[in-house]
């Protein structure tokens, strides 16, 4: 029964962790599209002007997507192996990500001038993305709730899977520890004593003076 529960938790953790992978891949693809649009807008300008521009928003967007994909790979490995160290590391990364997302959301909600804390985006992609989010705010709100719920559920499932895995390993250790004590009760057999081959304790010694007495002793 415990093995079935572990298998179900592994499947649920992989399914929820897949959401992070989908979000990461979507962000990477959107970042590549932004790079293509920015390159199209930069046509006709010199190479020095192209190199002087720092596309921090596009690079950050793609970096976040890659991070999500790496966390997805880590979560899949932790769920498949059910290793305590991998699950603990996955929970730590997920909790840190949740704290970072909560801090960013709180800063955006409480600080009306949060945009001034960011550097100027010369590509203009940040302004376009902000307009796109505002025009589809309801959709992005549910997407954010979906992502946060998946992350919290993944952390809780990883915690439960780690607890079940440690209990199962403890029961296996107990079985191996008391196996030697139960074996004599199951198959109790008395071992025969080992035989020692050697000279008899009272072997007669050969006497060259009386050889007939030695022959009589050995025949006796």
Q: Are 57 and 92 in contact (CB under 8 A)?
A: no
Which tens digits make up the pLDDT trace of 139-182? 888 988 898 998 999 989 988 888 887 655 544 444 444 444 44
Enter the pTM of the model: 0.69
Query: How confident is the model over 48-74, as pLDDT tens digits?
Result: 666 667 788 888 999 999 999 999 999
With contact defined as beta carbons under 8 Å apart, do 78 and 92 qualify? no
Neighbours of 136 (CB within 10 A): 11
Most confident of 107-121, 178-192, 195-209: 107-121
Residue spans of alpha helices (H) in the chain:
2-41, 47-52, 56-81, 84-110, 125-135, 137-186, 211-219
Residue-level pLDDT at 26: 92
In the predicted model, is pLDDT for residue 97 greater than 80? Answer: yes
pLDDT band of 137, cuts 50, 70, 90: confident
Burial of 15 (0-12, 13-18, 19+ CB in 10 A): middle
- Averaged confidence pLDDT in the chain: 77
Instruction: Report residue 119 CA to chain centroid gap.
Output: 36
Mean pLDDT of 185-195: 50
């Amino acid at each position: 029964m415990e093995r079935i529960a572990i298998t179900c938790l592994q499947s649920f953790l992989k399914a929820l962790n897949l959401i992070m992978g989908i979000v990461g891949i979507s962000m990477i693809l959107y970042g590549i599209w932004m790079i293509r649009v920015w390159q199209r807008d930069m046509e006709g300008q010199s190479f020095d002007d192209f190199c002087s521009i720092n596309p921090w928003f596009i690079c950050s967007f793609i970096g976040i997507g890659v991070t999500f994909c790496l966390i997805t790979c880590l979560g899949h490995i932790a769920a498949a192996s059910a290793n305590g160290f991998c699950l603990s590391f996955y929970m730590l990364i997920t909790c840190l990500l949740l704290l970072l997302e909560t801090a960013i959301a709180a800063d955006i909600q409480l600080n009306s001038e949060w945009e001034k804390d960011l550097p100027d985006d010369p590509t203009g992609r940040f302004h376009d993305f902000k307009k796109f989010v505002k025009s589809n705010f309801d959709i992005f709100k549910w997407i954010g709730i979906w992502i946060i719920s998946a992350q919290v559920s993944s952390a809780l499932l990883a915690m439960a899977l780690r607890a079940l895995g440690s209990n199962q390993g403890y029961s296996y250790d107990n079985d191996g520890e008391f196996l030697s004590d139960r074996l004599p009760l199951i198959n109790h057999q008395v071992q025969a004593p080992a035989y020692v081959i050697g000279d008899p304790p009272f072997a007669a010694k050969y006497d060259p003076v009386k050889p007939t007495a030695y022959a009589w002793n050995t025949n006796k």
